[in-house]
Amino acid sequence: MTIDEIMRLAPVIPVLIIEDEADAVPLGRALVAGGLPVLEVTLRTPAGLACIRRMAAEVEGAVVGAGTVTTRALRQAVADAGARFAVSPGLIEGEKADGPTPLLPGIATATELMAGFAAGFERFKLFPANVAGGMDAIKAFQSPFPDARFCPTGGVSMKNAPDYLALPNVACVGGTWIASVEAVRARDWDGVTARAREAAGLAKAQAAASR
């Protein structure tokens, strides 16, 4: 699957910070049960890579990707672990769209967006969205960069996600609110599924509004 196809699978990509490898599979199952199949497992914990491996192998219906992929070596490592995509907070120096796994690089300015285009990317994470201009920035990018599509992440919540998703150049949003570190520590899988279901419903609400 291309990064564009992955971004269109669900309105929200949960950004996951998992401390204990044993939580990876139940967490993944809780999110898929709630209707969110696209999962970004960050490499911010020592367990990250092992979690990707376990989720990719054991969670049926999940499209498992890696987050916080900041180097070419990590892009290769997560691909080897079974990640179907990688997300980076910024552009990786010298890294092109073609590579071991589809990559969604972060950008925060027009200059970074243009550098991304030059490397073959057309899909970007706006990061940190709440600092990099949020909805106003995405609206402003529409006219000069009509081919770019975004996944704003950073400060996105159930409250502002519908407004982001209503923008024509937003494909999906990302965030930690569906499965926070605290919720994962508490193994609150029912709560995770409930928040996932609510977030998955944003797609339908958006479709209904556009009819």
Distances in Å between the alpha carbon of 46 and those of 66, 105, 180?
Answer: 13, 22, 17
Burial string for 70-85 (b: 16+ CB within 10 Å, else e) reads eebebbebbbebbbbb
Task: Closer to ligand 3PG by CB, 81 or 161: give it.
Answer: 161
Are 202 and 38 contacting, i.e. CB atoms less than 8 angstroms apart? no
**Rule CB under 6 A: which of 125-184 touch ligand 3PG?**
127, 153-156, 174-177
The verdict on 11 binding ligand 3PG (CB under 6 A) reads no
Residue with Cβ nearer ligand 3PG (58 or 194): 194
Q: Can residue 15 be called a binding residue for ligand 3PG (CB under 6 A)?
A: yes
Neighbours of 96 (CB within 10 A): 12
Q: Could you say whether residue 13 binds ligand 3PG (CB under 6 A)?
A: no
Residue type, 151: C
Q: Does 62 bind ligand 3PG (CB under 6 A)?
A: no
* Count of residues that bind ligand 3PG according to CB under 6 A: 10
Residue whose CB is less far from ligand 3PG, 58 or 90: 90
Rounded Cα–Cα distance for residues 124 and 141 (Å): 12
Kindly state whether residue 193 participates in binding ligand 3PG, applying the rule CB under 6 A: no
**Residues facing 186 on adjacent strands:** none
Catalytic residues: 40, 125
Token readout for 101 is: 């796994």
- Looking at the Cβ atoms of 37 and 174, the one nearer to ligand 3PG is 174
The residues that touch ligand 3PG, with contacts defined as CB under 6 A, are 15, 127, 153-156, 174-177
